[in-house]
Structure 1
Amino acid sequence: MHSSVPSPADRPAHNARWRRACAVFAVAACAALLMACGPRHEAPLTVGTNTWTGYEPLYLARDLGLHNGLPVRLVELGSTTQSMDALRTGRLAMAGLTLDEVLTLVQEGVPLKVVWVVDISKGADALVAGSGISGLADLRGRKVGVEQTAVGAYMLNAALGKAGLRSGDITVVPLPLDEHLAAWREGEVDALVTFDPVLQGLRGRGAQVLFDSSDIPGEIVDVLVARQEALDCCTPRIAQLLDAHQRALDHLRTARADALQRMAPRLGLTPTEMDAALNGIDLPDAAANRALLSGPEARLATSAQRMAHTMFDQGLLQRPVGVATLIDDRFVRGSKP
């Protein structure tokens, strides 16, 4: 049996190889330790929105550099339908939706919580008509374009109800938002249920507002929702996103002209049109959000329950939806005045 111990002549080479092996091992170990202790790559928090005036402060925050260094990615989608589909499948962690759209997803079992009220429409959603239609009653027998979303149906039903009409009294033309202007130009519809920034463009082309969200105050509310897994893993990032949003609102209040110049191009509006569009919504600050979302008497919970009943009665929900667990108020409880 041969011994594995090197002979005296072989020992210098053997020792050199051993020292080199130890050095390589030490370098590798240090590198692994540095990688473990260094910053890890974080997948960005994906936040989806459609094109809507009320969501622009989120993009203003990004434009002001308030998202720099934050693992957050804003994803602009063509419609709320796309936002809802992405939330269903988990491709988005968060999204901006109207309250009725949130109720629709909750009914389907999508694990969502409302974390912030972004805006309350007070005229930025409207039913508009062209010449020859002077009132809601004149819509009978006419073609009315509307996006196939819960808020579109809710607005249309409210407008028709005010005139004593039903959906069977008109011809409903399903139209995605990005086709509204073209349909109007081509005369494919007599009236449209739409919202800013498209509303501003239609008014510039002579459209008359017959009904808007100021006729149903507090009903059309846009909120930020988060999937439950995002709340479980990413609370600090959500808090940072909302802090940047509040700082953008502060900039809008204190440097409005600059903010309008920054926001208008994204929506294809002039600063004057952007100003008019913003006048059609309320943008709740941190204090207003606390009143809306926190405590047993949270105002949004009351509004959501009323809306859920209305949607169920109108066939927009297949079953009653409870709102007791709809809101997560941890972010408004921790926000600054």
Structure 2
Amino acid sequence: MDLADFALHRWTRRSVLTLGGLALAGCTGGGDGATRPAGTSFGIVDWVGYTPLYIAREKGYLPEAFNVRNFPSPGQGTLAFAGGKLEGGAEVTAGAVDVRAKGKDLRVVMVVDRSVGGDGILARHSIRDLADLKGRKVALELGSVSHFFFLQAIAGAGLSGRDITIINTPPDAAGAAYRSGQVEAAVTYAPYLGSANRAQADGRILFDSARLPDAISDIYVFDARFVQAHPEVVQGFVDAVLKGLADLQADPQAGYALTARLLNITPAEVEDYLRGLQLADLALNIDMLTNPNSKSYLPNALQSLARFLKDQGQIPAVPDLTNVVDPRFVLAARATQR
């Protein structure tokens, strides 16, 4: 997989909000997820943020009969999870809200990562600041996580989506449109963000997710009934991922090499992509999952996303998210480390 193909994998992962037409309605959660005896099936797509999970799988840290299944697109994995064919999987936060709104009862047990520079707003030098985007045309993908990130960014400058003319454009094409001069501003992410910025001398990255680190996160989720029936498996998964992260921190180059082999890119590329992410360690997980006074508190972020998705027509109503976040497994992991 070359850089363009890798970027396409990230685009499909990040564009999960376009899955509104998938046949998820009526999925009340679980299917046979709580009772299937043949092991635990867990769905992911290719993504450098899962490096600790890759390490855990490679070193045998995962619970017995825990099967990590790789899907070519998040749509396939989402359908499998919603239909009870998987016990768990990886999602973006907005994707989890979307699935919950369609009836799936799930639990967020762990944060994978959050974007801290991998996403950004490109703008010509003639655009002085975020407030100067008022009345301008901006290329971005409507209803995507990038859209939500953009609206949060401009809100800090006193603007709303009504102040901007949005040109609905996929992330790769948004970067290309900015690079070629078709638009004055665009919202995209690596590698499009960096390549468009380097190619267009009359412009720069006006704002990136390092200044709004709570806008875009990836999470690990499980079927709610499976969590209730098999908490020991979920605990074993969380512990294994944390061990994988510890190994990555102890020997980064080995971790980069492992992920590079799996994704068919170079270790240097893995390292470069990871610079735009903050992998969630135990302390960040506990802060995001349990601390209502934190700016990173995940239940608040999920509620904000739900309102946004409803306003954008992506979901029919804001779902009940009261019990979606389940922090007991990261808390138990902290207890065992004391």
* TM-score, normalised relative to structure 1: 0.68
Moved more, 249-258 or 200-209: 200-209
**Residue identity opposite 2:92 in structure 1:** T
Residue 168 of structure 2 corresponds to 173
Give the unaligned 5+ runs of structure 1: 1-39
Return the match for 2:96 from 89, 102, 122: 102
Q: CA deviation at 1:254?
A: 0.8
Residues 1:184 and 1:117: Cα distance change in structure 2 (over 3 Å):
same
Return the match for 2:139 from 137, 144, 150: 144
**Residue identity opposite 2:233 in structure 1:** R
Residues 1:274 and 1:115: Cα distance change in structure 2 (over 3 Å):
same
Residue 119 of structure 1 corresponds to 113
Residues 1:313 and 1:111: Cα distance change in structure 2 (over 3 Å):
same
C-alpha deviations, 1:129-156, integer Å up to 9, x for none? 589877654695646142753x133123
**Residue identity opposite 1:219 in structure 2:** A
**Contact in 1 for aligned 2:138/2:164 (Cα 8 Å):** no
SS of residue paired to 1:104:
helix
> In 1, distance between residues paired with 2:283 and 2:245?
13
**Residue identity opposite 1:104 in structure 2:** D
Residue 271 of structure 1 corresponds to 267
Superposed, 1:1-337 pairs within 5 Å as 42-49=38-45, 51-67=46-62, 70-78=65-73, 80-128=74-122, 137=132, 142=137, 144-146=139-141, 149=144, 151-161=145-155, 164=159, 166=161, 169-175=164-170, 192-196=186-190, 199=193, 202=196, 205=199, 208-267=204-263, 269-294=265-290, 299-309=297-307, 318-335=316-333, 336-337=336-337
SS of residue paired to 2:68:
strand
Q: CA deviation at 1:187?
A: 8.0
Moved more, 217-226 or 292-301: 292-301
Q: CA deviation at 1:286?
A: 2.6
Residues 1:74 and 1:59: Cα distance change in structure 2 (over 3 Å):
farther
> In 2, distance between residues paired with 1:216 and 1:153?
13
SS of residue paired to 1:334:
helix
Q: CA deviation at 1:104?
A: 2.5
SS of residue paired to 2:109:
strand
**Contact in 2 for aligned 1:52/1:197 (Cα 8 Å):** no
> In 1, distance between residues paired with 2:184 and 2:84?
38
Residues 1:226 and 1:192: Cα distance change in structure 2 (over 3 Å):
farther
> In 2, distance between residues paired with 1:91 and 1:41?
12
> In 2, distance between residues paired with 1:130 and 1:300?
34
Give the unaligned 5+ runs of structure 2: 1-35
> In 2, distance between residues paired with 1:200 and 1:288?
27
**Residue identity opposite 2:51 in structure 1:** E
> In 1, distance between residues paired with 2:263 and 2:190?
9
Supply the RMSD in Å over aligned alpha carbons: 3.9
**Contact in 2 for aligned 1:140/1:170 (Cα 8 Å):** yes
> In 2, distance between residues paired with 1:170 and 1:287?
40
**Contact in 2 for aligned 1:47/1:74 (Cα 8 Å):** yes
Aligned residues: 294
**Contact in 1 for aligned 2:108/2:326 (Cα 8 Å):** yes
Moved more, 107-116 or 88-97: 88-97
**Contact in 2 for aligned 1:47/1:95 (Cα 8 Å):** yes
Residues 1:181 and 1:269: Cα distance change in structure 2 (over 3 Å):
farther
